[in-house]
Structure 1
């Protein structure tokens, strides 16, 4: 049975700089902030430091990025459009492509030697962040590789995120619509479908990483 995913608006006291949603995955509600504003990123990171103070020496963070797909050979290689981070039930979707600036708090967060960032194929995401924005990520762990080691099955290195979720979390299939995967992530206003998709990727990565690290 597929896991149901839904989204609804939450009260938003700073509509000029952010949008706030509750993305529900099964029985879990993830508070999701969508922003182009560096100060909002600062605030999100401050809240993580505050809320997870006792875990800062081994914090696990789900990480994913999205960018506009290019078709054909030799076409322009689009920059990362969104960076998604998830810790517990807090998710940030930072529209880097439209950002007023890349905040130093984010650079510091991503380069914290005590944090562990997790995702499928995460090294390619990290490399692209470095290439497009000169941002480094200190500790990146591919959850496919982690699952391969834990379960003694090298095949898990090539399993997608939702396949890993079924194996590691024992949850039903979570839909990842291809039309959303290949949608225009450069657009100024993300659609509800894109917000759900982006949040779920980061959240599921976090949950899997929590089990494997």
Structure 2
């Protein structure tokens, strides 16, 4: 990442131990903040959360959700139920509603990054900002923390961009979720 932090990303499509590894590393580092983001897919009748993104200090976990309830859902539910862990995301209310209705996931300590920044800096407009603008405002710089420049400039929706490789999509998902995590940590200091 731009701050020199090496972030490893694990893509979890089925129960391959990725969640266990993420949790092990998370508990070892003792950090109680998780960057949280989702991607949605738009089906025939309604939008559903299709990708769950979690990021802590040096680890990012991308979990594909396809409507099937896997064995790792129970540990994920337990993680989300832990009130000691702050799951921080940008405009997360709808994400939380969809996750609860589709998968039964209830996050007990969810924090909206925009709300947090607006309250800390007494700038209400920050509630409406996306990740790029929040990171810029919080870090008081034009450089967006770890988010690749081509993505910022073009405002590309990476899911729809046919020219991006899977590797670039993973890189972008990691960078965005890490930016949420890093910005939240700065706000909490």
- Of 120, 132, 151, 1:162 maps to 132
Shift of 1:169: 2.1
> In 2, are the aligned partners of 1:69 and 1:183 still within 8 Å (CA)?
no
State the partner residue of 1:89.
58
Shift of 1:92: 0.4
State the partner residue of 1:42.
20
The alignment partner of 2:105 has SS state of coil
Shift of 1:170: 3.5
Size of the aligned set, in residue pairs, is 176
Shift of 1:206: 0.5
State the partner residue of 1:52.
29
Shift of 1:79: 2.3
**Counterpart check, 1:67 vs 2:40:** yes
- Of 146, 164, 167, 1:192 maps to 167
Q: Any gaps of 5 or more consecutive residues in structure 2? A: none
The alignment partner of 2:61 has SS state of strand
- After superposition, residues 174-213 of structure 1 pair within 5 angstroms as 174=147, 175=149, 176=151, 177-182=155-160, 191-213=166-188
**What is the CA–CA distance in structure 1 between the aligned matches of 2:104 and 2:134, rounded to whole Å?**
30
For residues 127 and 41 of structure 1, do their structure 2 counterparts lie closer, same or farther at Cα, with a shift above 3 Å needed?
Answer: same
Shift of 1:26: 5.2
> In 1, are the aligned partners of 2:37 and 2:89 still within 8 Å (CA)?
yes
**What is the CA–CA distance in structure 2 between the aligned matches of 1:119 and 1:155, rounded to whole Å?**
17
> In 2, are the aligned partners of 1:25 and 1:200 still within 8 Å (CA)?
no
> In 1, are the aligned partners of 2:42 and 2:48 still within 8 Å (CA)?
no
State the partner residue of 2:77.
107
> In 1, are the aligned partners of 2:18 and 2:61 still within 8 Å (CA)?
no
Question: How large is the RMSD of aligned CA atoms in angstroms?
Answer: 2.3
39-48 vs 142-151, which deviates more?
Answer: 39-48
TM-score when scaled to structure 2?
Answer: 0.83
For residues 142 and 201 of structure 1, do their structure 2 counterparts lie closer, same or farther at Cα, with a shift above 3 Å needed?
Answer: same
